[in-house]
A and B are shown apart, each in its own frame.
Chain A
Amino acid sequence: MKSALLLKVLILSVFLPQIANQAGWMSAEIGRQPWVVYGLLKTSEAYSPSVSAGEVLTSIILFSLVYLAMFGLFLFILLDKIKKGPATDSSREEAALS
Chain B
Amino acid sequence: MIFSLDINTVWFFLLGILLTGYAILDGFDLGVGALHLTAKNDEERRKVINSIGPLWDGNEVWLVTGGGALFAAFPEAYATAFSGFYMALFLLLMGLICRAVALEFRSKQPMKWWRSLWDAVFSISSIVTAVLMGVALGNIALGIPLNSRHDFTGTFFSLLHPYALLVGLTVLAIFTLHGALFLLIKNEGDLYARLKSLTTKLIIVFYVMLAVTTIATFLVVPHVLANLKAIPVLFIVPAIAFLAAGYLFAAHKKGKDFKAFLASSVTIATLFLSLGLGLYPNLILSSPEAANTLTIYNASSSTKTLWIMLVIALIGMPLVIGYTSFVYRTFRGKVKLDQHSY
Contact B109 A59 (CB under 8 A): no
Cβ–Cβ < 8 Å partners of B90 in chain A: 59, 62
CB distance from B277 to the nearest CB of A (A): 29
Contact B101 A80 (CB under 8 A): no
Q: Summarize B's interface: helix, strand, loop or mixed.
A: helix
CB distance from B44 to the nearest CB of A (A): 16
Known contacts: A48-B83, A55-B86, A59-B90. The answer to whether A66 contacts B97 by CB under 8 A is: yes
**For residue B97, which residue of chain A has the nearest CB?**
A66
Q: How many residues of B contact A (CB 8 A)?
A: 18
**For residue B337, which residue of chain A has the nearest CB?**
A96
CB under 8 Å from chain A, chain B span 72-86: 79, 83-84, 86
Contact A59 B108 (CB under 8 A): no
CB distance from A48 to the nearest CB of B (A): 4
- The interface size bin for chain A is 10 to 19
What is the CA–CA distance of A4 and B29 in the complex, to the nearest angstrom? 46
Cβ–Cβ < 8 Å partners of A95 in chain B: 339
Known contacts: A55-B86, A59-B86, A80-B109. The answer to whether A50 contacts B153 by CB under 8 A is: yes
CB under 8 Å from chain A, chain B span 82-138: 83-84, 86-87, 90, 94, 97, 101, 105, 108-109
Q: Among B86, B105, B109, which residue has the most Cβ atoms of chain A within 10 A? A: B86
What is the CA–CA distance of A92 and B338 in the complex, to the nearest angstrom? 11
Which of B84, B87, B105, B339 sits near A77, CB closer than 8 Å?
B105
Task: Mark interface residues in B140-164 (1 if CB within 8 Å of A CB, else 0).
Answer: 0000000001011100000000000
Contact A51 B83 (CB under 8 A): yes
Which of B87, B94, B101, B338 sits near A55, CB closer than 8 Å?
B87
